Structure 1
């Protein structure tokens, strides 16, 4: 069995996934193919992989590739963890909108940051899809790259790949946190979530047949510090808890980032992802230096879904994970072509998404707004229509709540100019002065 890592230079994440994979005895002799276009990062990933294999007592074949196709050739699974442009592009995603008066916290899912992260990732996804169709057409593509919903929809519409699932740890860690809050062991709770990536909803939260939502609401009423979290504010008003952090959740709605008072009340950390980027870069340098000095870091598992998915498909051991897949009626009151996050059964037959009931209307309304932005970004790329970039920004809840429409178009022009060499050629037009009548 061959597992290819695309973007293996994301060394810390690659290490966690490999630690999980090589903990399975069935994978002791798999072929791990590492690909990255950065030679230094690839070398670091290779050294880390060899160390992890040694610690795990495994003897996989580990190869490193600067070119993508040799890494993919004959692969059974492809894990995509690419971040196009790395920290430099992410800083642009924050600095340019900030000059226009637009606040962001994470900027990797919706908003201006999410839109342009997607647009610079799509050309890579198209190439990846073409390569997979030729050299590993039966492989499963396990995507971790954000913006998840945009990327999964684009992969479905632009590449023709059908064995694609987007994986994210937000549901798992949300439920871990909620279990701790209500004082019930995680292993004993029963839960179900559905929605879209980073804005799914905990629809069922029980212990021994008892609904735990009243206990959670009581905790929030007693603890003013809990009420100073965006997620708890949304829970109190919508009746259901969202699956991503407050830093994420505040960006997908129009209510918080525009208002100084809300930022103060809910302790919203503006520009939070810039600190995360800096920390990730520092982690990489520490790992690189430690490996070079013969003092490799400890091998630690991550509980990520990709190793579990691979193990279930390879061995037939059944599991349930949360996956991002094209909707096609899985959530009846969300758009059919949008990517939704639902429970998926995994076994030797592959990944099988499960159907959810219609979402409560207040939740579906927010998810539809999210998926409208997503669809316009995908339309921009698939149709090579630069105006749809502006339409997506105009439809984005947080952007539209903050900037007048002319400012949105000027901001999009500045972002296009800043990222031009990473965008497909047809999307590089500057359009602020072009307002077509009718």
Structure 2
């Protein structure tokens, strides 16, 4: 087979490498073209050198090109994969820093909450630019695979406004299933059969079977509470499991910021999180991790390049959906996964226009969702609260309506639990002014927002958050890795 895959945001070096090697694990896909594009020429050249080394080491006919000209990369592409972060770490730092001034303590801030909503405002205009180029220069039946957060908002905009055949992809379901299999004593996640449904990052394991045996709430709670690690790292998820009756896919830290109950007061935050790793609830944890990862890669790049000389190990193909979807579409080998698509009746008790994440099957006829799923009422209620925020956020990003943007932020569950309307109005003004370079649709609103900020009487506070850690230096990271290697 010979076709072209374009990867937008290919400068996300580690993730691009994973997608690349996964796809090349499909025997029929060796003679294809990968067109890499990014706004960073520096990152593009680094990832191209790594992928070229992989191709050379494995003696493959695969072609790799790299360009900052997005339309050129998209020309004739059958598949387009996006993993962009508009504004990079600079804008992301504001997504965490500014809400903290108003008492909003986020662990990740990339899905909803104040940070995720502003992230969506930066991404959506760019997503629509992608869709325009895809429609004009890619293959007629091109499929757009979106990995970028905020997943639901980006996918919503691409489908409703970009009019491109789009599916959103995430690995939260797979990771949650691996946890459940482990606590239940399974030898591998393959022994676990499950139905997991909801919206991205708020997906729920509503049916669990281990080797065909149904697993109920009480057994699952007992298994998690008996686990020596997860009982400490996932305290919040376990509490939600006890109250809702089903386990959530999302990590302790992520889930905590989508709900109005666990991060509303600093003393409550420290009660529910775990500081053994960023993902369990640390203030700005993913920002710290992303910063350290970038610095580490820049410093240790020669080692990454050397590692690319090893043969591709078919056994290490990851459970990221992209390669499996492409394999199913091109070879008709059926693949079952969990996909972000427009609801259209798939989940009976969520809005029809929402972007849901639910089970589906892929073959040469496309992605076919398993319809007629009904969520437990508490799960549906929690999802609907987020969906309403996502809908307003998408419409604000499209229209450039700063008042609608403020209403979207006001209705966010955690923001509403922490901040007053006056604080939300000022916070959004401050974030729009700080991120104006990436928010062209709000250019008309920036002067008035800046004027309001100059006369505002709303008080803020300067603090690091309830559980903040400093970014570690390269030397500290190297020492830590060495210690782990020696201990292991």
* TM-score band, normalised by shorter chain: over 0.9
Q: Which ranges in structure 1 are unaligned for 5 or more consecutive residues?
A: none
Offset at residue 321 of structure 1 (A): 1.1
In the other structure, the counterpart of 1:394 is 410
TM-score (norm 1): 0.94
CA distance in 1, matches of 2:55, 2:284: 37
Correspondence for 2:97 among 80, 95, 98: 95
CA distance in 2, matches of 1:393, 1:247: 20
Cα distance 1:25–1:222, how it changes in 2: closer, same or farther (>3 A)?
closer
Cα distance 1:238–1:13, how it changes in 2: closer, same or farther (>3 A)?
same
1:325 aligns with 2:341: yes
CA distance in 2, matches of 1:428, 1:280: 36
Contact 1:194 1:356 in 2 (8 A): no
Q: Which ranges in structure 2 are unaligned for 5 or more consecutive residues?
A: 274-280, 454-488
Cα distance 1:297–1:409, how it changes in 2: closer, same or farther (>3 A)?
farther
In the other structure, the counterpart of 1:302 is 318
1:248-397 to structure 2, matched below 5 A, reads: 248-267=254-273, 268-286=281-299, 288-290=301-303, 296=308, 301-397=317-413
Offset at residue 117 of structure 1 (A): 0.6
In the other structure, the counterpart of 1:200 is 203
Please state whether the residue corresponding to 1:429 is helix, strand or coil.
helix
Cα distance 1:64–1:420, how it changes in 2: closer, same or farther (>3 A)?
same
Cα distance 1:291–1:176, how it changes in 2: closer, same or farther (>3 A)?
closer
1:219 aligns with 2:235: no
* Bigger Cα displacement from structure 2, 47-56 vs 326-335: 47-56
Cα distance 1:270–1:329, how it changes in 2: closer, same or farther (>3 A)?
same
RMSD over aligned Cα atoms? 1.9
Offset at residue 133 of structure 1 (A): 0.6
In the other structure, the counterpart of 1:104 is 106
Cα distance 1:220–1:176, how it changes in 2: closer, same or farther (>3 A)?
closer
Contact 2:244 2:379 in 1 (8 A): yes
Offset at residue 296 of structure 1 (A): 4.3
In the other structure, the counterpart of 2:85 is 83
Please state whether the residue corresponding to 2:361 is helix, strand or coil.
strand
Cα distance 1:428–1:166, how it changes in 2: closer, same or farther (>3 A)?
farther
CA distance in 2, matches of 1:188, 1:220: 18
Cα distance 1:223–1:60, how it changes in 2: closer, same or farther (>3 A)?
closer
**CA offsets, 1:198-219, max 9 Å, x none?**
0010011112332223321223
CA distance in 1, matches of 2:179, 2:444: 43
Please state whether the residue corresponding to 2:345 is helix, strand or coil.
coil
1:47-62 to structure 2, matched below 5 A, reads: 47-62=49-64
**CA offsets, 1:332-390, max 9 Å, x none?**
21111110001121111111222142211111000000100000001102333211110
Offset at residue 196 of structure 1 (A): 0.2
